[in-house]
Amino acid sequence: MSGLAPFCIELQPAARADELLNDPQVFAMLRFTQKSRVDAANPGHIDIAMPPAGGQEYIEVWRSPHTLQPGQHGPVHYLYCDDFLFGSLYIGDQDFDDVADATAHAYQEIHDTLEQAGFPALLRMWNYFPRINEESHGLERYRSFCLGRHTALDAWHFPEEQLPAASAIGTLSEGMVIYFVAGKAPGIQIENPRQVSAFHYPPQYGPRSPSFSRATLMNEWGQLYISGTASIVGHETLHIDDVTGQFHEIMANIETVIDQANYASPINCKSLSDCQLIRIYLRNPTNRDLVAQLIKERFGPDLKYQLVQGDICRTDLLLEIEGMYAHCQ
């Protein structure tokens, strides 16, 4: 495990799941399945309804050398040690009529949890819920999510320059799952000079801008958390209907984000291929072979990555890619 990093991440073949459940260092395991689920008794055991879209199937394993303590506040269940808190929550579709309300409630509960537990800094957020591109109450559900998140973070007085890296993706079954990493102090927010900061997107993309940064650099832990990254330059989608074009634009965006992180404070992550977690969200699984080929052309045949089926938050985006540099040895 790197320097003083309090946790690390690795991808393991799905067949090893049962054996890894007995490993005392393993505190979280992310699986891609048909149904979203969070185990309240084991807040790191999370299933996301984004079925594997092809290739080798991996589960994502999080380890810590520390003994983590459990805690709970409202719907938020968590594990923590001196350095970090890992939390998750599930909200059923029937519990809220409106995505904005569900999201505002979730983030309010996360706020209360973190305040009580003494980890005020959000470092990385994952947000998953169904029918992300459908309209409801006159607003696309992703935009409604952004509105609810913005409202809660406003009430929280959350500083814009500390907004964490995030992903927000549409799942294929019911229920909102949010999981996150928080710390005692913020990381370094990394933005991308090729892109308008998402929190400054103009209102054409929704009544409230998306509250996230392009990456969080945890330089004292030697870690970098890269947000879901799409084929957006400035604030516009490029390469409509062109998977290959979107892929190359995403690569340019991710390489720029990694360069920016290294300017801020050098880190051993110099390319997406250095990341231990690479997750590719694919809107249309029929593009799986093309994406696998593009990855192979760029990184060779040995790169480990998760390829899952999920809906990206703009209907014209065909894929999105995120990375975590948080190595175990």
SS3 188: strand
Contact flag: residue 313 with ligand 3EB (CB under 6 A):
yes
Count of residues making up the chain: 329
Contact flag: residue 64 with ligand 3EB (CB under 6 A):
no
Please list, in sequence order, all residues whose beta carbon lies within 8 angstroms of the beta carbon of residue 246, skipping any fewer than 6 positions away.
Answer: 230, 231, 238, 239, 317, 318, 319
Q: Is 109 an active-site residue?
A: no
Please list, in sequence order, all residues whose beta carbon lies within 8 angstroms of the beta carbon of residue 98, skipping any fewer than 6 positions away.
Answer: 136, 137, 144
SS3 50: coil
Applying CB under 6 A, what is the total number of residues that bind ligand 3EB?
A: 12
Contact flag: residue 227 with ligand 3EB (CB under 6 A):
yes
Residues 118-157 that bind ligand 3EB (CB under 6 A): 127
CA-to-CA distance for 138 and 276, rounded, in angstroms? 40
Beta strands in 153-276 (DSSP E): 165-171, 176-183, 188-190, 215-218, 223-229, 232-233, 236-237
Q: What binding mask, one character per residue, do residues 180-209 give for ligand 3EB by CB under 6 A, x or -?
A: ------------------x-----------
> Smallest gap, in angstroms, from Cβ of residue 212 to ligand 3EB?
4
> Smallest gap, in angstroms, from Cβ of residue 164 to ligand 3EB?
9
Q: Compare residues 8 and 122 and give the one whose CB is closer to ligand 3EB.
A: 122
> Smallest gap, in angstroms, from Cβ of residue 168 to ligand 3EB?
4
Chain contacts with ligand 3EB (rule: CB under 6 A)? 127, 166-168, 198, 210, 212, 227-228, 230, 232, 313
Residues designated catalytic: 320
